[in-house]
Copies of this chain bind each other. A is one copy, B any other.
Amino acid sequence: MSLELTAVQTVACCSPLAREPLSLPEAEGIAPLLKALADPVRLRLMSLVASHEGGEACVCDLNDAFELSQPTISHHLKILHGAGLLDREKRGVWVYYRARTEALQNLATLIGGQAT
């Protein structure tokens, strides 16, 4: 097991933006998470998965929601998964993605948390 913190672990460690200045390592840990979200396709993927019944969706469902090639969707899913925003589970032929809601909540607290 790695000693490195994942982006998701990093974001859980910090006070809200408005409370105290972020250190450089903190900022460098959090930016990749926001970067992963900062794309229209990936935002829609996240909301599709998070709002899908059961909190999960298979790639086959997701592909149909876009006019993009399957490899492109797969690429975006990999980025979201790599950032720790989506969990992956293979069941038979299909792969299901599930939103990591605690990661989203931590991020929301960081961005919008009160100063005091």
A4-39 contacts to B (CB < 8 Å): 17-24, 27-28, 30-32, 34-35, 37-39
Contact A28 B40, beta carbon cutoff 8 Å = yes
The DSSP consensus for interface residues of chain A is: helix
A46 contacts partner chain B, Cβ-Cβ < 8 Å: yes
Q: Are B99 and A18 in contact (CB under 8 A)?
A: yes
B104 touches A111 (CB 8 A): yes
Which size class do A's interface residues fall under?
Answer: 35 or more
Contact B35 A115 (CB under 8 A): no
B18 near A51: Cβ-Cβ < 8 Å: yes
A51 vs chain B, min Cβ distance (A):
5
Given A31-B38, A38-B31, A104-B111, CB of A24 within 8 Å of CB of B50: no
